[in-house]
Amino acid sequence: MGDHKDTEKENKGKKNKTDWGLLMRFLKGSLHLFIFGIITSAVVSLADMISPQIIRMAIDNAIAGLEPDLAPWVMNIVNFFGGFSYLGRNLWIMALAIVVVAAVRAISQYATQVLNNKASEKLVKRMRDMLFTHIEHLPFSWHMKNHTGDIIQRCTSDVDKVKKFVSEQLTNVIRIVVLLVLSLYFMFSMNVALTFVAVSTVPITLGYVLIFGRKLHASFEVCDETEGVVSAMVQENLTGVRVVRAFAGERHELDRFLDKNGYYCSLWMRMGTLLARFFTVQDVLSMLQVMLVIVVGSVMCVKGSMTAGDLVAFITYNAMLAWPIRRLGRMLVEMSQADVSINRIAYIMSSEVEKEDPEATDAPMDGRIVFEHVNFAYENCPRILHDINFSIEPGTTLGILGATGSGKSTLMLLLDKLYDLPEGCGRITVGGTDIRKIRTEHLRDNISMVLQEPFLFSRSIADNIGITREEISLSDIREAARTACLDDNVEGFAKGYDTFVGERGVTLSGGQKQRAAIARALTKNAPIMIFDDSLSAVDTETDSRIRAALEERFGTATIILISHRLTTLSKADKVIILENGRIAEEGAPDVLKTSGGIYQKIYELQNGIDSDRTGKEEAHG
């Protein structure tokens, strides 16, 4: 987890242009809807500007008998409808005009909301599509360094925050600009002095907003990171619920969660106080502006330098001026949230996907497998493999034996290119072709691997077994299950192969999960098959039956068996024994068990245990 935090800190030193440019990539496909929404939003603002002018004319002309001093283009419209005297005698025309303007505003507002909704949902879909696609192509090592819960939080909560900002704030930018420009235009046209009074508090408000913005951004960043930690903790505990219950660890895990969740709660409480202070000061400044306009404007009316209609219209425009200025505060808050979220999303999108050699080909995968002078170390860890050399002939079975941490699984991860073997650290070839020169998808299509820890999806047994092929019949699934000695168990379930296995296969036993994983690997019919300690949870008899079925059905495949159980390796053509990342012994099982080395000691130990068990069983028989 620490490694990816370091990477994020490096990214924060870069300009945010890249991250906001990422937002433009996400907007592809929905940008035109947002633009139309911005246009209709601008129409709403224009409608807001027209109504005060109509009210102004009605008050001054009909009540005071005055002709307001209007712009030439407005006078042309008035004259078109018969002039002030005619409109004064027919107020219904101005009333109708207000209704028409209100109708246009309502229709435009409706269109804005519909367009924004469609655009924002398309944006969210595209963001999650792109994120999921990118995550699917990230290296195995990247997934090992990042918590699943935190990744999920970036793909859900952070995406929603970006959506909220774009749909609620970004589309309001043009509307705010239109309101500011037109409000100031009409205010200056009516009374220059009062307009300067109205804008006197604006520099103070803007300065306060900008200074406060830095505090908000830092606070939102801490809150988002902590939310990711809490999400990861919840995901981890839900996944490992059986372990927690088995060791009565509920109290310990609950204490850990309460501590972290309490810290997260305290962060948002402090954030709430910060936001309350921010908006309170902003409200005070807004009220101060309104009060100044009303007081000074009233004095001007009393002195006769301003008409009642002008004052009513001016106060309306002043309110329209105050709204976007106050809205800047809300925009700043959500922009700070969105900026943090975009940076967190950008961390995923900027992570490099698996690299492919441009000259990589679909080389044959049924040839000899050779490890030549292979050395390897995981990132920030000591070397785990030291000068590994061995070969596997096509159609033969290789057994790999070694203590925990000796590098057995690492060899297979390198063969499957789940980890890339760095240049200068040896090479791995299949049929004489360096796997670096073999296209990754082609390589993995031809390797069927059963991992040490079997993983099953929250789907039916049939779906889990048949996941390796786009189209597969139930008969093929059952054949694979029979080979893995699983068919009898499945037939005993009420729904058979339609049985839902639960998250991570929680409803199946350890042995059943391993056999389901083996069956899944068998449906692939790959020329290379790897079993990474995948028979550890089945009994010796089932182990023997599975190996016999594999030999009968996949006699031409190259098979690699990793196991601590020598009975599993007894039929292998060759066995290599790893010790501290080096090959300590190599040879046929029958030769190694009399060589006086590690294999013989393990053989005698396991046979001794078996003999003791047999003797005890006979004694109790």
Q: Which residues contact 23 (CB under 8 A, 6 or more apart)?
A: 162, 166, 342
**Least confident window among 391-405, 425-439, 476-490, 497-511:** 497-511
Give residue-wise pLDDT tens across range 456-496.
Answer: 888 888 988 888 888 888 888 888 888 888 888 888 888 88
pLDDT (0 to 100) of residue 180: 81
Buried b (16+ CB within 10 A) or exposed e, 285-309: bbeebbebbeebbeebeeeeebbeb
Q: Which helix (H) or strand (E) holds 151?
A: helix 148-165
> Which CATH class for the 362-446+528-548+555-588 domain?
alpha beta
Q: Which residues contact 477 (CB under 8 A, 6 or more apart)?
A: 462, 465, 466, 497, 519, 523
Look at residue 605 and tell me whether its pLDDT is greater than 90: no
The overall longest dimension of the chain from CA atoms, in Å, is 122
CA dihedral sign, ordered 401, 405, 409, 411: negative
How much is the average pLDDT of 144-159? 84
Yes or no: say if 333 and 217 are a contact pair by the CB < 8 Å rule: no
Question: Which of 436, 449, 450, 432 is CA-nearest to residue 365?
Answer: 432
Give residue-wise pLDDT tens across range 260-275.
Answer: 888 888 888 887 888 7
pLDDT (0 to 100) of residue 610: 47
Give residue-wise pLDDT tens across range 523-534.
Answer: 888 889 998 887
Look at residue 552 and tell me whether its pLDDT is greater than 80: no
C-alpha distance from residue 120 to each of 123, 151, 163, 425, 586 (Å) = 5, 22, 6, 49, 62
pLDDT (0 to 100) of residue 381: 86
Look at residue 227 and tell me whether its pLDDT is greater than 50: yes
The full set of domain ranges for the chain reads 2-350, 362-446+528-548+555-588, 454-525
6 confidence band (pLDDT: 50, 70, 90): low
pLDDT (0 to 100) of residue 556: 80
For residue 335, give the amino acid letter: M
Q: What whole-number distance in Å separates Cα of residue 294 and Cα of residue 290? A: 6
Q: What whole-number distance in Å separates Cα of residue 269 and Cα of residue 239? A: 30
Give residue-wise pLDDT tens across range 340-353.
Answer: 888 888 899 988 88
Give, in degrees to the nearest 5, the angle at Cα 293 between 290 and 298.
Answer: 125
Residue tagged 């069927």 (tokens): 448
Q: Which of 54-68, 164-178, 571-585 is the most confident on average? A: 571-585
392 confidence band (pLDDT: 50, 70, 90): very high
| β pairing state of 427-430 and 369-377 | antiparallel
Look at residue 555 and tell me whether its pLDDT is greater than 80: no
For residue 140, give the amino acid letter: F
Task: Supply the mean pLDDT for the chain.
Answer: 81
Give residue-wise pLDDT tens across range 61-91.
Answer: 655 555 666 656 666 666 666 666 666 666 6
| β pairing state of 427-430 and 582-587 | unpaired
Fold (CATH) for 2-350: ABC transporter transmembrane region fold (1.20.1560)
Yes or no: say if 379 and 410 are a contact pair by the CB < 8 Å rule: no
Yes or no: say if 546 and 485 are a contact pair by the CB < 8 Å rule: yes
* 454-525 carries CATH number 3.40.50.300: yes
Yes or no: say if 579 and 550 are a contact pair by the CB < 8 Å rule: no
Q: Which residues contact 408 (CB under 8 A, 6 or more apart)?
A: 400, 401, 402, 532, 533, 562, 578
Q: What whole-number distance in Å separates Cα of residue 336 and Cα of residue 342? A: 10
Intra-chain end-to-end CA distance of the chain, in Å = 55
Residue 176 CA, chain-centre distance (Å), reads: 32
429 confidence band (pLDDT: 50, 70, 90): very high
> Does 362-446+528-548+555-588 match 454-525 in CATH topology?
yes
pLDDT (0 to 100) of residue 14: 47
How much is the average pLDDT of 278-305? 84
Give residue-wise pLDDT tens across range 430-466.
Answer: 988 999 999 998 998 899 888 877 888 888 889 888 8
Residue tagged 């005993």 (tokens): 492
How much is the average pLDDT of 150-164? 86
Give residue-wise pLDDT tens across range 333-342.
Answer: 777 778 888 8
For residue 353, give the amino acid letter: V
How much is the average pLDDT of 211-227? 76
Q: What whole-number distance in Å separates Cα of residue 30 and Cα of residue 20? A: 16
Buried b (16+ CB within 10 A) or exposed e, 18-48: ebeebbeebbeebeebbebbbebbbbbbbbb
Q: What whole-number distance in Å separates Cα of residue 54 and Cα of residue 57? A: 5
Look at residue 403 and tell me whether its pLDDT is greater than 80: yes
Look at residue 537 and tell me whether its pLDDT is greater than 90: no
Q: Which residues pair with 392 in a beta bridge?
A: 369
What contacts 24+ positions apart, CB below 8 Å, involve 139-142? 139/352, 139/353, 139/354, 139/418, 139/419, 139/420, 140/413, 140/418, 140/419, 141/378, 141/379, 141/419, 142/351
pLDDT (0 to 100) of residue 265: 84
Question: Which of 539, 552, 573, 533 is CA-nearest to residue 483?
Answer: 552
Give, in degrees to the nearest 5, the angle at Cα 266 between 261 and 271.
Answer: 125
Return the HEC string of 290-323.
Answer: HHHHHHHHHHHHHHCCCCHHHHHHHHHHHHHHHH
What contacts 24+ positions apart, CB below 8 Å, involve 509-515? 509/537, 510/537, 511/537, 511/538, 511/539, 511/542, 512/486, 513/454, 513/456, 513/537, 514/450, 514/454, 514/538, 515/481, 515/484, 515/485, 515/486, 515/489, 515/542, 515/546
pLDDT (0 to 100) of residue 221: 75
611 confidence band (pLDDT: 50, 70, 90): very low
Helices 540-553 and 510-522 meet at what angle, rounded to 10?
0
The values of phi and psi at residue 136, to 5°, are -60, -25
Yes or no: say if 452 and 490 are a contact pair by the CB < 8 Å rule: no
Look at residue 406 and tell me whether its pLDDT is greater than 70: yes
Residue 140 CA, chain-centre distance (Å), reads: 16
pLDDT (0 to 100) of residue 618: 43
Yes or no: say if 290 and 319 are a contact pair by the CB < 8 Å rule: yes
How much is the average pLDDT of 555-569? 85
Q: What whole-number distance in Å separates Cα of residue 588 and Cα of residue 532? A: 19
Q: Which is more confidently placed, 182 or 423?
A: 423
* C-beta atoms surrounding 15 within 10 Å: 8
Question: Which of 122, 103, 105 is CA-nearest to residue 34?
Answer: 122
pLDDT (0 to 100) of residue 387: 93
- Of all residues in the chain, what percent carry a pLDDT higher than 70? 84
Q: Which residues contact 567 (CB under 8 A, 6 or more apart)?
A: 540, 543, 544, 606
pLDDT (0 to 100) of residue 415: 93
DSSP-based three-state secondary structure for 191 = coil
